[in-house]
């Protein structure tokens, strides 16, 4: 990894955008990367638009301002299209990951995205989550998709670390942990296929 990787997550309060950033940072730190994960704090309400960020690098990170030019952007809620400009600051080599059942071409048209060099991946993370975990919380599948798009680590490394984290969070609810593992794997493979 030659340069510092910067990532922005868009979600609604309750969808787990903050948790996705934290889980990615923890997993990347576990494979020896330097990491940052931090949310942009506004009024915290269920359903309100929220943003969180990651920085990941092979070298120590000292910068402590908000991410302005993220190369990777994950959108956990497709209803943002038209309401929030989540391409703000993205370079021409940028990558968008959208939680949507639509194809990337449909999303491009709906967003009126003119820049051909920006890559758009779509995956139905809410449906994956519903089918595997039993709840439409799209953050862990989007985490799998982000790891596939960035290539910052392998799927096995991600699964191992995330399992450890979730085992602490969901003590006594093993079905949630197994469901999350399947969700992450499915999303990872979905992005790799595209």
Partner 1 sequence: MAMALEAQKTTALTGNEAAATALRQIEPDVVAAYPITPQTEIVQLFSTFVSDGLVKTEFAAVESEHSAMSATIGAAAAGARAMTATSSNGLAFMWEMLYIAAGLRIPIVMPVVNRALSAPINIHCDHSDTMGARDAGWIQIYSENAQEMYDNLIQAVRIAEHPEVLLPIMVTIDGFIISHGMENVELLQDQVVRDFVGEYHFPYPLLDIEHPKTIGPLTLQDFYFEHKREQAEAMQRSKAVITVIADDFARLSGRQYGFVECYKMKGAKYALVVLGSTAGTAKYVVDELRQEGEQCGLVKIRVFRPFPGPELCKALADIKAVGIMDRSDSFSTQGGPVFAETKAALYQASNQPKCVNYIYGLGGRDIEPSLIRQAFMEVKDLATSNAVGGGIRHLGVRE
C-alpha span between 35 and 8 (Å, rounded): 14
Nearer to partner 1, 66 or 106 (CB): 66
Residue 13's nearest CA partner among 44, 54, 52, 53 is 44
Catalogue the E-assigned strands of 58-175: 72-75, 95-99, 119-123
Q: Between 52 and 91, how does the x/- string for binding to partner 1 read (CB under 8 A)?
A: --------xxxxxxx-x-----------------------
Indicate the Cα dihedral angle 148, 152, 157, 162, nearest 10°: -80
Residue 172 within binding range of partner 1, rule CB under 8 A:
no
Minimal distance, residue 149 CB to partner 1, in Å: 21
Radius of gyration of the chain (CA): 16
Give the separation between CA 71 and CA 66, rounded to whole angstroms.
Answer: 14
State which of residues 5, 22, 120, 153 lies at the interface with partner 1 (CB under 8 A): 22
Residue count, binding to partner 1 (CB under 8 A)? 22
Applying CB under 8 A, which of residues 12, 14, 34, 194 lies at the interface with partner 1?
34
- Report if residue 41 touches partner 1, rule: CB under 8 A: yes
170 binds partner 1 (CB under 8 A): no
């Amino acid at each position: 990894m030659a340069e510092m990787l910067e990532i922005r997550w868009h979600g609604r309060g309750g969808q787990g955008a903050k948790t996705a950033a934290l889980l990615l940072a923890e997993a990347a730190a576990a494979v020896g990367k330097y990491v940052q994960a931090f949310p942009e704090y506004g009024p915290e309400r269920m359903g309100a638009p929220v943003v969180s960020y990651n920085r990941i690098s092979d070298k120590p990170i000292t910068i402590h301002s908000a991410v302005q030019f993220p190369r990777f952007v994950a959108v956990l809620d497709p209803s943002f299209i038209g309401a929030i400009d989540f391409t703000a600051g993205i370079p021409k080599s940028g990558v968008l990951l959208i939680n949507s059942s639509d194809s990337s071409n449909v999303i491009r048209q709906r967003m009126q995205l003119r820049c051909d060099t920006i890559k758009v991946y779509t995956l139905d993370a809410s449906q994956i989550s519903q089918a595997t975990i039993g709840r439409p919380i799209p953050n862990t599948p989007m985490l799998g998709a982000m790891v596939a798009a960035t290539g910052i680590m392998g799927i096995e490394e991600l699964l191992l670390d995330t399992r450890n984290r979730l085992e602490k969070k969901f003590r006594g609810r093993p079905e949630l942990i197994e469901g999350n593992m399947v969700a992450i794997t499915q999303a990872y493979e979905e992005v790799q296929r595209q």
